[in-house]
């Protein structure tokens, strides 16, 4: 069983370690936080005395986790951004084993902690934070950066009440848009994700960020999430329908802007420009202006001088499984299948999924051995396996074409998906049955 704990704040260790360690002109101090692939430490410039936060990333860990491109994307995004409501990146240093991102040090707390300790904020205070959030996010959009993981944990509030947007690891840049002008990667955090992302048909990065800003505003003004449920399938149904409680104690203006933002139809949802024209939003509004462009952010050549796969190599690798997130896992679960919300076709005869505890390499080898025994031809491309058994006319009885893909959930659990492209249903069932037997997967025997 895989237990997913979403919408919850991860525990962060606040530790102290040997101060006095030097990194060039920086003296490293206490640990501010820890993540899966590194630490964030307090640092001080020994020449100026200026404080910084240095994110220390272990190169081997990001290779193991297959997130090298995610780190590159975060650096590329932050290099573009100079705004008072976005955490600044000053430079990127490197050693043979580590990458060091020198970031602005924010003396304050996460918005999550602020709401957790104080509960809902007064409407005026909440509006001020929301104005800063919209200023920062709309600026990012103007520079071609779409955050895609806006949530309370990724918003900092300094000691003076100034808001700072952070963690651009899931952000999208213009080169990630497909020919249709849309983004297609399913990502984000369960309680904050826009319904069009769940629908898996492509989405506008700006519109989906607006939705997440609306969720943040709702939590700030009410103290609880608009979309929440222990059952993830029920949670996603609420998101898809835009089904949330509208507290009557909020002012009419606050209720109206929340309603316009949390519109499940992205085509009619309010835009950033329209938010800035809203009467409730404009009350006491002092627009923040981005800073003058400074010299380019220095990035050490060694930062990515590691044996990671390039974008094109990742595409062509047949050995690396795709790591999936909770949204995709929910869609894969037979008892929580959300496909009915997105497509009318009954795919039960076309698609089968099952879990396995074998490694990705062993799985693919065993699958290839099994299908070869059935005299299928095998092609491997883009991390997928295509198996074919064809007569002269590929539509005739006995012909079959199937795509087989392995998705990584954790280091010890994988999902195998078989997707029939065309062909004989009886041959497809025989193939599925043989694979289940050969891989030792429990299943009903008919």
Catalytic residues: 149
Residue (of 245, 246, 228) closest to 237 by Cα position: 228
CB 34 within 8 A of CB 12: yes
Residue 342 phi/psi, 5-degree rounding, is -115, -20
* Residue 55 is assigned to a ligand binding site: yes
Nearest to 416 by CA among 349, 356, 359: 356
The closest alpha carbon to 90, from 298, 243, 249, belongs to: 298
Task: Give Cβ neighbours of residue 279 (< 8 Å, ≥ 6 apart).
Answer: 253
CB 414 within 8 A of CB 408: yes
Residues 168, 146 contacting (CB under 8 angstroms): no
By the 8 A CB rule, do 278 and 130 touch? no
Q: How far apart are CA 57 and CA 107, in angstroms?
A: 22
Report d(CA 235, CA 243) in Å as an integer.
10
> Helices 205-222 & 252-261, crossing angle to 10 degrees?
150
Query: 56: which strand partners?
Result: 39, 100
Pairing mode, strands 26-34 and 298-299: unpaired
Helices (H), 10-82: 59-64, 68-80
What distance in Å separates the CA atoms of residue 367 and residue 252, rounded to the nearest whole number? Answer: 60
Gap between the Cα atoms of 53 and 42, Å rounded: 5
Beta-strand ranges (E) seen in 273-365 are 298-299, 322-323, 351-356
Rg, C-alpha atoms of the chain: 24
Q: How many CB atoms lie within 10 A of CB 405?
A: 18
Give the Cα separation of 347 and 80 in Å (integer): 43
Binding residue numbers for ATP: 55
């Amino acid at each position: 069983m895989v237990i997913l704990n979403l919408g919850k704040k991860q525990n962060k260790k606040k530790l102290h370690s040997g101060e006095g360690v030097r990194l060039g002109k920086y003296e490293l101090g206490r640990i501010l936080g820890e993540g899966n692939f590194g630490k964030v430490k307090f640092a001080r410039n020994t020449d100026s005395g200026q404080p910084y936060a240095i994110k220390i990333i272990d190169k081997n860990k990001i290779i193991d986790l297959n997130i090298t491109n995610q780190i590159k994307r975060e650096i590329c995004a932050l290099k573009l951004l100079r705004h008072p409501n976005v955490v600044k990146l000053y430079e990127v240093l490197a050693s043979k084993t580590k990458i060091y991102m020198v970031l602005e040090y924010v003396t304050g707390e996460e918005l999550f902690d602020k709401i957790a300790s104080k509960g809902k904020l007064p409407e005026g205070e909440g509006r001020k934070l929301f104005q800063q959030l919209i200023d920062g996010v709309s600026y990012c959009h103007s520079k071609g950066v779409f955050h895609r993981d806006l949530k309370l944990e990724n918003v900092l509030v300094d000691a003076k009440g100034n808001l700072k947007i952070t963690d651009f690891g899931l952000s999208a840049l213009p080169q990630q848009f497909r020919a249709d002008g849309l983004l297609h990667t399913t990502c984000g955090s369960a309680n904050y994700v826009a319904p069009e992302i769940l629908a898996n048909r492509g989405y506008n990065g700006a519109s989906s960020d607006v939705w997440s800003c609306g969720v943040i505003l709702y939590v700030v003004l009410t103290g609880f999430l608009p979309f929440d449920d222990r059952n993830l399938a029920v949670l996603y149904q609420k998101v898809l329908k835009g089904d949330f409680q509208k507290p009557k104690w909020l002012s009419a203006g606050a209720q109206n802007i929340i309603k316009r933002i949390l519109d499940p139809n992205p085509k009619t949802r309010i835009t950033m420009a329209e938010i800035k024209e809203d009467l409730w939003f404009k009350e006491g509004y002092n627009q923040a202006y981005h800073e003058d462009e400074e010299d380019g952010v220095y990035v050490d050549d060694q930062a990515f001088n590691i044996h990671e796969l390039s974008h094109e190599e990742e595409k062509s690798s047949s050995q690396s499984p795709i790591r999936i997130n909770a949204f995709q896992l929910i869609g894969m679960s037979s008892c929580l299948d959300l496909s009915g919300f997105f497509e009318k076709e009954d795919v039960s005869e076309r698609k089968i999924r099952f879990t396995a505890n074998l490694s990705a390499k062993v799985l693919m080898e065993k699958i290839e051995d099994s299908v070869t025994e059935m005299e299928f031809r095998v092609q491997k491309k883009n991390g997928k396996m295509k198996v074919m058994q064809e007569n002269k006319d590929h539509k005739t009885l006995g012909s079959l074409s199937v795509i087989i893909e392995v998705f990584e959930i954790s280091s010890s659990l994988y999902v195998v998906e078989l997707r029939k492209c065309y062909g004989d249903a009886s041959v497809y069932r025989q193939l599925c049955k043989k694979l289940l037997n050969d891989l030792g997967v429990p299943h009903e025997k008919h």
